[in-house]
Structure 1
Amino acid sequence: MTTEPLIKPLIEPLPLVKPSALPEPRALLELLKPITWFAPMWAFGCGVVSSGGAVQGRWPVVLAGILLAGPLVCATSQAVNDWYDRHVDAINEPQRPIPSGRIPGRWGLAVAICWSLLSLAVASLLGPWVLGAALFGLTLAWIYSAPPLRLKRNGWWGNAACGLCYEGLPWFTGAAVMTASLPDGRIVLIAALYSLGAHGIMTLNDFKAMEGDRRTGIRSLPVQLGADRAARLACLVMALPQGIVAAALIAWGHPWHAGVVAALLAGQGLLMRRFLADPHGRAAWYNGTGTLLYVLGMLAAAFALRGGVA
């Protein structure tokens, strides 16, 4: 564990622009971070595929679920995180909507609350299992960022919560939407394994914020372990669950799908070698390359389950 002392937080800088009474529409969209919606929407789609249910005639429900996973629940988590991270962002990303003043006053908090209520309203239309998953996911989103728990202060707990919200819960929700019941145990297991692997993906996101995290006392894994050890851990945490997925698919009689997952994992291994040579400089690069292979493996596993779940 690194013994580097934490630096006293800097005084929050002045906004980059003059605050106004109302937030800018573009700043609101930036607050909700559409680029982050892809992961839960993809996982939801994998859940739909894995259920084995036909989507013909059910497109309105499927589209509502995709809306719930990305532009609602995930967007809520981004708004909550930006509000409670505004002092950290003032150091790491002062151009963000709240520290820059483009979303003034307490508008950031108001958006987070309203988006939470809207998410629950939509989830309630999709059945009790979906509503329960959405409520659980929103609870994690709030305790991840908000005091007193603020799980993100420790990379072990915070990354686990993010991985579950980004991969496991949307996958579960997609399957629950199609079956209108508790999904098959194999679906839950595969979703849980990919959630565990996503813990490593979340660690990749922490490299860019190491300086601000040190100054504000957030013990991300790169801060706790140092860049090199955190990078090796992230690779291991991403790889091991995928290996278990491949083994499980073989045991369930899907060797071809298991081979696809294994081949994608091997490709990630090659990319990991380059990432580990410069973790701090190449974290974003690996996040855009290795993570793509990771999510393609999710889809391969979903198609295997589609053919094997009764």
Structure 2
Amino acid sequence: MPRLIATLDERTRLPAPRAIVELLKPITWFPPMWAFGCGVAASPQPTEGRWPTIIAGLILAGPLVCATSQAVNDWFDRGVDAINEPDRPIPSGRIPGAWGLYIASAWTALSLLVAAMLGVWVFAAAAIGLALAWAYSAPPLRLKRNGWWGNAACGLCYEGLAWITGGAVMAGGVLPDWRSLTLAGLYSFGAHGIMTLNDFKSIEGDRQMGLGSLPVRLGVNNAARVACIVMALPQIAVAGLLLVWGRPVHAGLIVLALAAQAMMMSRFLKAPREKATWYSGAGIPLYVLGMLVSALAVHSILLETS
């Protein structure tokens, strides 16, 4: 009977608000919100009179869609987290019973509701992002079992779709200019490498649970090289495009940021497992600053041609 009573208590106990906030991981909201802002910055439309819509879009990108992805991932990763990070809300019991799944489902519905109020293309981007978030973590697809597919899904959600959403909000709910879409695609590709950096901290749990992250599949050193190459290539492409589009100053800034990253990458490659978190904090900010630089370049181009 004691086991039955404990089970019933866990099913009826409500999670504390602090545990819910921790489950939704506000610190992870920055990348998609930044990408959304880059989509806004790339648009030629003025921001005057659009701030309520822009703020709604920022909330959609971060506290809603991204937070949903975090809740979904933590629910379906509760076994892995029990090994890697047992203090997280679900494995620690601070989010009891199936509340992790309930929260993920409720946040999905709320995200779709807000997206529907912001236009057809915003709704479409949000729906795709949410579908990928569930596909990344949930069976039967569980894309994270393959580091190539899983990281691609994350990169698209965190960077590309958020950028497109920002541009669509500014364009009145329609797709933004093709140059903005091109940048969104390139930076999504590079985000695959950023996602690989996150996998270095959970190698043991991933290996035990059969998750084929790139550090598990390729080995630590090879995965680190792949991450660096994948992050560098789109930035080289962006710099080249900005030159072709007549923005040499912006292209030069991208090259300078990449050169600084290259010096940090050389240090990271000497001890990938130990330096992955360090590089995430030191090198990735230069990557995302380049996103804004390129967005402002497109903004100036579109103003000239409009």
Whether 1:244 aligns to 2:232 is no
AA paired with 2:47? V
Q: Which residue of 1 aligns with 2:131?
A: 139
Q: Which residue of 2 aligns with 1:198?
A: 191
Structure 1 CA distance for aligned equivalents of residues 113 and 266 of structure 2: 45
Q: What's the CA shift for 1:182?
A: 1.3
CA deviations 1:98-136 (Å, max 9, x no partner) are: 000000000000000000000000001100010000000
Q: Which residue of 2 aligns with 1:61?
A: 53
Whether 1:265 aligns to 2:266 is no
Secondary structure of 1:284 counterpart: helix
* 2:267 pairs with one of 262, 270, 274: 274
Q: Which residue of 2 aligns with 1:39?
A: 31
Q: Which residue of 2 aligns with 1:15?
A: none
AA paired with 2:102? A
* 1:306 pairs with one of 281, 285, 299: 299
Q: Which residue of 1 aligns with 2:117?
A: 125
CA deviations 1:144-188 (Å, max 9, x no partner) are: 000000000000000000000000000000000001211111111
Q: Which residue of 2 aligns with 1:112?
A: 104
Whether 1:174 aligns to 2:182 is no
Whether 1:295 aligns to 2:291 is no
Q: What's the CA shift for 1:221?
A: 0.1
Structure 2 CA distance for aligned equivalents of residues 259 and 172 of structure 1: 25
* 1:162 pairs with one of 146, 154, 158: 154
Structure 1 CA distance for aligned equivalents of residues 86 and 234 of structure 2: 36
Structure 2 CA distance for aligned equivalents of residues 52 and 114 of structure 1: 35
Q: Unpaired runs of 5+ in structure 2?
A: 1-8
AA paired with 2:170? M
Structure 2 CA distance for aligned equivalents of residues 103 and 203 of structure 1: 28
Q: What's the CA shift for 1:24?
A: 1.3
Secondary structure of 2:279 counterpart: helix
Whether 1:91 aligns to 2:83 is yes
CA deviations 1:273-296 (Å, max 9, x no partner) are: 110010000000000111000000
* 1:100 pairs with one of 58, 71, 92: 92
Q: Unpaired runs of 5+ in structure 1?
A: 1-17
Q: What's the CA shift for 1:53?
A: 1.5
Secondary structure of 2:283 counterpart: helix
Structure 1 CA distance for aligned equivalents of residues 133 and 45 of structure 2: 29
**Which runs of at least 4 in structure 1 moved beyond 6 Å after TM superposition?**
none
Secondary structure of 1:189 counterpart: helix
TM-score calculated relative to the size of structure 2: 0.95
Q: What RMSD, in angstroms, separates the aligned Cα atoms of the two structures?
A: 1.1
Q: Which residue of 2 aligns with 1:4?
A: none
AA paired with 1:254? R
Structure 2 CA distance for aligned equivalents of residues 191 and 135 of structure 1: 17
* 2:249 pairs with one of 241, 256, 265: 256
Secondary structure of 2:132 counterpart: helix
AA paired with 2:175? L
* 1:186 pairs with one of 166, 179, 188: 179
Secondary structure of 2:118 counterpart: coil
TM-score calculated relative to the size of structure 1: 0.94
Structure number having the greater helix percentage: 2
Whether 1:78 aligns to 2:90 is no
Secondary structure of 1:301 counterpart: helix
Q: Which residue of 2 aligns with 1:286?
A: 279
Deviates more, 1:177-186 or 1:296-305: 177-186
AA paired with 2:78? R
Using the aligned pairs only, state the percent identity: 65
Q: Which residue of 2 aligns with 1:149?
A: 141
Q: What's the CA shift for 1:52?
A: 1.7
AA paired with 1:259? G
Secondary structure of 1:37 counterpart: helix
Q: What's the CA shift for 1:56?
A: 1.0
Q: Which residue of 1 aligns with 2:20?
A: 28
Secondary structure of 1:190 counterpart: helix
Secondary structure of 1:105 counterpart: coil
